[in-house]
Amino acid sequence: MKNLLAGAAIALMGLTQTATADGHANYPERPIMMMVSYGAGGATDFQARIVTMTSGNEDALGMPIAILNKPGAGGRVGWNWLAGQAEADGYTLGAYNVPHFIAQSIKGGVEYSTASFEPIANWGADPAVLVVGKDSEFNTLQNVVDFAKANPGKLTTSGAGLFVGHHIAALQMEKAGDMKMAYIPTKGGGAAAMKAVIAGDVMAGINNLSDAFRAAQAGNVKILAVADLERNAFLPDVPTMMESGLAVDNASVNFRGVMVPKGTPQGIIDKLAATVPTMFENSRVAGKMKAGGSPMHVMNRDEVLAMWAARQETLKELLAGL
Amino acid sequence: MSNSSLPRVQHIMGSGVVAAVGATVCYISYTQQPSEAFLFPRLIATVFVVLALWTFVKACLGWTKVGNGLSLTQFSNLAPGLIIALIYIFWAAKGLGFYTATSIAFFILLSLYDPPPHGVLKSWVKRIITTACFMAVMYGLFALLLKVYTPREIFF
Amino acid sequence: MEFIYYFGDVFTPINFGLLLLGTIGGLILGATPGLSPTMAVALLIPFTFQLEAAQGLILLGAAYTSTVAGGAVSAILLKIPGAPANIATTLDGHAMALKGEGAKALQLSFLSSAVGGVFGVLLLIFLTPVLAQWALAFGPSHLFWLAILGVTVIGSLDSASVVKGLLSGCIGLWLATIGFDDIMGAQRFIFHPSLSGGINIIAALIGLFAIPQVITMFAKGRKNDGTEAIQVQKHPIKSAFSELFRYKRAMGIGTITGSIIGLIPGVGGQIAGLVAYDQSKKFSPDKDKFGTGHPEGLIAAESANNAMVGPSLVPLLTLSIPGSPTAAVLLGGLLIHGIFPGTDLFDNHPDVAWTFINSMLIGQILMCIFGLYVAGMAARVAQVPQSMMAAIVLGLAVFGSYSVQSSMGDVYVMASLGVMMYFLERFGFSAAPLVLGLILGPIAESNFIQGSMIATATDGLAPYFLTGALNLFLIVVVVLSVLYSGYMELRTRRYTSKEEIMG
């Protein structure tokens, strides 16, 4: 019995040693978990499920990725968990939303910043758009700006929360147009914010392009402008805010991608950074994303690092006055 | 049910704890910032503390109408089970891994509370089989079907 | 009548097979404490990647329908509601099981689920355009008043003492504020890192209901006299039917309340059962029997929470707004196949839309048949010796609460709340009002804050919250509800004091 135990112990030690010695060549050895800091069925969750669906293929990671939802407070709950409580063993990934988590970390009161995470790859870029109800008297961005200038603080505008992309877009609009809007954060994410616009609870709304595209297709809203540098392929007829004379850049574009908590072994980060972008480029993934009305934008680890740094600068400046 | 049958001291203690929690909550909500975020907690805490004090005063005066409290027999019956359950949940589940901890806790609880005599071998075999069956079902349901990755420290 | 053309599609071998699979699987998952309908549906999403659009939706729809109904099984037999929707079911359902009427309670619950469910789906089929407008009519101010209406129910729910009922509700409302506040992002009452995500409602539900049950079983000690198992009387299905028709009022109130509340985005099915329970109690001549194992309460609660299934999909299918977390997951199931809910769905993919809706109709009936079939067997669960039951429930509670978000924190919260609830119950507090507070708190708060932000930007607080037909109607209902409870309390108090004098 004693011998048996000793043998088992040696075998165990041997196992753990090989695992660390081989530079994580065998990673992943079991299914991986990816935390999404928004609820099941939200845009981030939906896209995360699609882009990870081929992860079990042999040419990808060879192990499936399971989605774990930790919603609450505009994503703070999930990212706090990833930064503070998740194990940095490579088996816990997280989905990021930029500018959300960067803006929240600048604003304070959370346990994370860009330094708490290591990006892996970016899969999507979902610009914020300005929407109004289908019967609204506003037909162009200029109408909205004129109203907001004439009635400071009276233009009720819904968005998915404070210090998320929608809020950043609203702040940028206020700054660019030198006007005051009444930004109404909703609980329940983009869907609740969109409901407020369709039902006429608010006069306008800022929402994800993917969700707004769907609502516009259903004939429930009018999309007036896109807060991005270029027009979007999904909405070739909708002008950018800059074209309509409002100097709003792409700082509010919602970049979605994969990251891991700081402290994850470098070997694993390298392996993920090499595999994950190709996994996103899979044609089945691209097809499903397009069908669902979700704009894709694949970026590798270095590009994401640069993008994070750039956002950090812009947002610091924008949020300084608040 | 006459009032005197209710354990007055226990009620005073119970409602005292609730009132103390109420007072703490009330204090925290009125002192924390930003005040807009604490508007609702303040409202709730105020009602909370008023109702809790009312209950406490009623308990002190012996006017409580419901709640039979806890008899000494009940307490001594539940104490070992509760202690095992708390050790299991707050330490063993994470420290030993879910499946190991659950097997041990399940078996101990079964040994403590099921009626068959402890001196008979047959009843022990039965307990072991029950534990094994339960663990098999749990593993099938959570690990295989639902693919929940539970903490596994030693063994699995 | 377009939907009739697509009935054939439900019965193709693959579709019908999926429907059966979803229904039976859903019943089992729903009956497991800690697995909510949302989780069950989310778990199935990966499978739908491989299926055609209509097939995937059939699977999801069937699972949604039957998990809601399956939740009644653990609610009745173990007093552990599988989801918030089943809280009201525990009140009379478990009392019936304790009286040995477990089989009867399960039969009634599946039958009334089916009646409510079929009615709800029929509403979805025939009245979708009208209902969509109604769903949109509820803005922040209305939802606020609706939540307040729910709060007025708290005091009279399952507690012998109104003050303690209200106090339990207050504890629940306070617990709901723990964590990050959703709109401002401020941290509130985070005494321990486990609380930073707030209190998860499913974990809380398991703790508040399951753990006190476990401790109660411990408190009975080691008994040898064979009294520890509950007897289960056989109950013929035929008499369950006649029983159901005897309580037409509860059935009607449950079905209608469930349909209306299910329609409102954001409030969802969580409170449908409780509101229906309370309403049928108020209109019943046998008020005193509620909570003691009275079939009326059970029927109202169960018909309401399945009636809500159909209407809860109206905002999703017509406006592309998911009204509940489960609907949001179903939206994903549609989008993955490139189908957008709304006009696109009904104009360009009528086969998908109607096959899905029809399958829910058939699913309700299948769910009822299987439910009735297992009712007799499932009721035997109550005969499992209590010692073993305590250990099983404890294990399920730990695994169930962990699996909600793969979080140890949720397990700690579950256990702490559970132990606290056991001792509170000894002193006359009860879990149902506490959970109701936990559910209603966030609805009331976020809608009040949102409403007041809109109000200050537009025409001011008082006009926004106090004018408009729907606001006024809801306020009147709130006032009536309070007055009624007060009146009942005074009346019972007079009776009891008379008895005391006589005694």
Residue A128 pLDDT > 90, yes or no?
Answer: yes
Rounded average pLDDT over C452-458 = 87
Model pLDDT, residue B32 = 80
Residue A1 pLDDT > 70, yes or no?
Answer: no
CB contact under 8 A, A156 and C457: yes
Could you list the residue range(s) of the whole structural domain that residue C161 is in? 2-502
Residue C395 pLDDT > 50, yes or no?
Answer: yes
Model pLDDT, residue C409 = 87
Model pLDDT, residue C312 = 85
Q: How far is CA C454 from CA B42, C98, C301, in A?
A: 22, 50, 35
By the 8 A CB rule, do C30 and C269 touch? no
By the 8 A CB rule, do C465 and C471 touch? yes
CB contact under 8 A, B89 and C398: yes
Report which of residues A195 and C229 the model is more confident about.
Answer: A195
Rounded average pLDDT over C63-67 = 86
Identify which of C285, C169, C164, C68 has the alpha carbon closest to the alpha carbon of residue C294: C285
A41 at C interface, C-beta within 8 A: yes
A 27-56 residues with CB < 8 A to B: 30-31, 33
Residue B6 pLDDT > 50, yes or no?
Answer: yes
Distance from the Cα of C439 to chain B's closest Cα (Å) equals 14
Instruction: Note the pLDDT tens digit of each residue in C251-268.
Output: 999 999 888 888 887 666
Model pLDDT, residue B90 = 93
- HEC profile for A172-204? HHHHHHCCCCEEEECCCHHHHHHHHHHCCCCCE
Q: How far, in Å, CA of A107 to CA of A322, rounded?
A: 9
Report which of residues A7 and B63 the model is more confident about.
Answer: B63
- HEC profile for C200-246? CHHHHHHHHHHHHHHHHHHHCCCCCCCCCCCCCCCCCHHHHHHHHHH
User: Lowest mean pLDDT: which of A189-198, C78-87, C486-495?
Assistant: C486-495
Q: How far, in Å, CA of C313 to CA of C319, rounded?
A: 10
Determine the residue of chain A that is closest to B147 in CA distance: A66
Model pLDDT, residue C383 = 73
Residue B2 banded pLDDT, cuts 50, 70, 90: very low
Model pLDDT, residue A170 = 93
Model pLDDT, residue A116 = 92
Instruction: Note the pLDDT tens digit of each residue in C272-321.
Output: 888 888 888 888 888 788 888 899 999 999 999 889 888 888 888 887 77
Rounded average pLDDT over C461-478 = 87
User: Lowest mean pLDDT: which of A56-70, A98-112, A286-300, C231-245?
Assistant: C231-245
Residue C97 pLDDT > 90, yes or no?
Answer: no
Q: Chain C contacts of B82, Cβ < 8 Å?
A: 215, 218, 419
| Percent of chain C residues past pLDDT 90, beyond the cut | 13
Residue C36 pLDDT > 90, yes or no?
Answer: no
Residue A15 banded pLDDT, cuts 50, 70, 90: very low
Q: How far, in Å, CA of C358 to CA of A67, rounded?
A: 30
Distance from the Cα of B104 to chain A's closest Cα (Å) equals 20
Residue C212 pLDDT > 80, yes or no?
Answer: yes
Report which of residues C51 and A9 the model is more confident about.
Answer: C51
By the 8 A CB rule, do C130 and C462 touch? no
Model pLDDT, residue C139 = 85
DSSP calls for C314-345: HHHHHHS---SHHHHHHHHHHHTTT--TTHHH
Instruction: Note the pLDDT tens digit of each residue in A265-289.
Output: 999 999 999 999 988 888 888 888 8
By the 8 A CB rule, do C316 and C342 touch? no
Identify which of C453, C144, C170, C148 has the alpha carbon closest to the alpha carbon of residue B43: C170
C 139-168 residues with CB < 8 A to A: 139-140
Model pLDDT, residue A10 = 45
Residue B3 pLDDT > 60, yes or no?
Answer: no
- Using only C-alpha atoms, what is the Rg of chain C? 22
Determine the residue of chain C that is closest to A194 in CA distance: C321
Rounded average pLDDT over A77-97 = 89
Residue C372 pLDDT > 70, yes or no?
Answer: yes
A 215-234 residues with CB < 8 A to C: 215, 217-220
Model pLDDT, residue C110 = 92
Model pLDDT, residue C229 = 59
| Percent of chain B residues past pLDDT 90, beyond the cut | 28
CB contact under 8 A, A73 and C181: yes
First to last CA, chain B: 52
Distance from the Cα of B26 to chain C's closest Cα (Å) equals 10
DSSP H helix total and E strand total for chain A: 11, 11
Residue C418 pLDDT > 90, yes or no?
Answer: yes
Residue C501 pLDDT > 50, yes or no?
Answer: no
What is the number of other CB atoms lying within 10 angstroms of the CB of residue A204?
A: 29
Determine the residue of chain C that is closest to B118 in CA distance: C222
Model pLDDT, residue B35 = 77
- Using only C-alpha atoms, what is the Rg of chain B? 23
| ipTM rounded to 2 decimals | 0.92
With 0.90 as the threshold, say if the pTM is over it. no
Residue B1 pLDDT > 50, yes or no?
Answer: no
- Residue burial A2-37, b: 16+ Cβ < 10 Å; e: rest: eeeeeeeeeeeeeeeeeeeeeebeebbeeebbbbbb
Residues of B with CB under 8 A from a CB of A: 147, 149
Length of chain B: 156
Sign of CA dihedral C399, C402, C406, C409: negative
Rounded average pLDDT over B53-70 = 82
Rounded average pLDDT over C353-372 = 89
Q: Which of B36, B48, B69 sits opposite C426 (nearest CB)?
A: B69
Residue A18 pLDDT > 60, yes or no?
Answer: no
C50 at A interface, C-beta within 8 A: no
Rounded average pLDDT over C144-153 = 83
Residue A11 pLDDT > 60, yes or no?
Answer: no
Q: How many independent structural domains does chain C possess?
A: 1
Residue C175 banded pLDDT, cuts 50, 70, 90: very high
Chains touching C by CB (3 or more pairs below 8 Å):
A, B
A163 at C interface, C-beta within 8 A: yes
Q: Chain B contacts of C164, Cβ < 8 Å?
A: 55, 66-67
Kindly report the average pLDDT of chain A as a whole number: 86
Model pLDDT, residue C321 = 77
CB contact under 8 A, B147 and A33: no
C 9-38 residues with CB < 8 A to A: 38
Residue A80 pLDDT > 60, yes or no?
Answer: yes
Q: Chain B contacts of A91, Cβ < 8 Å?
A: 149
Q: Which domains does chain A have, with CATH numbers?
A: 29-124+255-319 (3.40.190.150), 128-227 (3.40.190.10)
User: Lowest mean pLDDT: which of B5-19, B140-154, C79-93, C448-462?
Assistant: B140-154
Model pLDDT, residue A220 = 86
User: Lowest mean pLDDT: which of A299-308, C180-189, C402-411?
Assistant: C180-189
Model pLDDT, residue C158 = 62
Distance from the Cα of A66 to chain B's closest Cα (Å) equals 8
Model pLDDT, residue C51 = 82
Distance from the Cα of A155 to chain B's closest Cα (Å) equals 22
Residue C95 pLDDT > 50, yes or no?
Answer: yes
Q: How far, in Å, CA of C225 to CA of B115, rounded?
A: 8
Kindly report the average pLDDT of chain C as a whole number: 83
Residue B154 banded pLDDT, cuts 50, 70, 90: low
| Percent of chain C residues past pLDDT 70, beyond the cut | 93
Most A CBs within 10 A among C340, C403, C470, C471, hence the mutation to make, goes to C340
Instruction: Note the pLDDT tens digit of each residue in A225-252.
Output: 999 998 988 899 999 999 988 888 888 9
Chains touching B by CB (3 or more pairs below 8 Å):
A, C
Model pLDDT, residue A21 = 44
Residue A17 pLDDT > 60, yes or no?
Answer: no
User: Lowest mean pLDDT: which of A10-14, A62-66, C31-35?
Assistant: A10-14
CB contact under 8 A, C266 and A155: no
Q: Which of A73, A199, A291 sits opposite C136 (nearest CB)?
A: A199
A191 at C interface, C-beta within 8 A: yes
For the record, the structure tokens of C501 come out as: 């004098």
Residue C496 banded pLDDT, cuts 50, 70, 90: low
Per DSSP, the three-state class of A254 is strand
Q: Chain C contacts of A109, Cβ < 8 Å?
A: 185-187
Residue C500 banded pLDDT, cuts 50, 70, 90: very low
A12 at B interface, C-beta within 8 A: no
